[in-house]
Structure 1
Amino acid sequence: MNVTRFAEAPAYFPPHHTGMHCLRLQGHEAGRSDALWMGVSVLLPGGHTALDASPLEKHYVVLEGEVRLRTPDETVTLHQYDSVRLAPGEAREVSNPCNRPALLLLAMPYP
């Protein structure tokens, strides 16, 4: 069993993330995981990522607040407990359009 207390979750710093504080909940520096890793991002008002793609699929769940997700084909606004899956290679931009912070859970497989 590997327990990561939120208050002790290690920060990580992905490129092209602005106005975001990212914490690792499982995997990588938060402890061993064989298949996937999980993190949570605190998006400050106006916080965002670049419109970027990853070779791995991504799963997001909004835990608090409102998050806008834009792909080259569409834009959606996700609310608390809404989730989305992005296919490998699918470019996405994540942003917080509101004046309150948002919490976003991320789960990704290892390469």
Structure 2
Amino acid sequence: MNVTRYDQAPQYFPENHFDIRCVRLQGHEAGPAQSLWIGVSTIEPGGHTTMSASALEKHYVVLAGELTVQTEEGEVVLRANDSCRLAPNEGRALKNRSSAPVSVLLAMPFA
């Protein structure tokens, strides 16, 4: 078993993320994992990512707050316990348009 305490989770710094704190809970520098890694991002009010895509699918689960997810097809607002899956190479931008932080769980396979 590998336990990662949230307050000790290693922080990482993805490009094109603004006013967002990202930590890894499992996988990569947070410990062993075979198929996927899990992280949590805290997005401050006004925080956002630029529109970008990766070759890997992504799964987001909103833990608290309200997150706007924009794709080429439009945008959707996710609230606590809502989730979305982004396909490989599907562009996305994340935005916190609210006045409170939003907390988002991210699960991704390894490259």
Give the TM-score normalised by structure 2.
0.99
Alpha carbon RMSD of aligned pairs, Å?
0.4
Matching of residue 59 in structure 1 with residue 59 in structure 2: yes
Q: Does the residue aligned with 1:29 lie in a helix, a strand or coil?
A: helix
Matching residue of 1:38: 38
Matching residue of 1:13: 13
**Distance of 1:95 and 1:33 partners within structure 2:** 29
Q: Which runs of 5+ in 2 are unaligned?
A: none
**Distance of 2:105 and 2:72 partners within structure 1:** 22
| Aligned residues with identical type, % of pairs | 54
**Distance of 2:96 and 2:33 partners within structure 1:** 29
Give the TM-score normalised by structure 1.
0.99
Q: Does the residue aligned with 1:62 lie in a helix, a strand or coil?
A: strand
Q: Which runs of 5+ in 1 are unaligned?
A: none
- The CA deviation string for residues 47-74 of structure 1, in whole angstroms up to 9 with x for no partner, is 0011000000000000000000000111
**Distance of 1:54 and 1:103 partners within structure 2:** 21
The one-letter code matched in structure 2 to 1:12 is Y
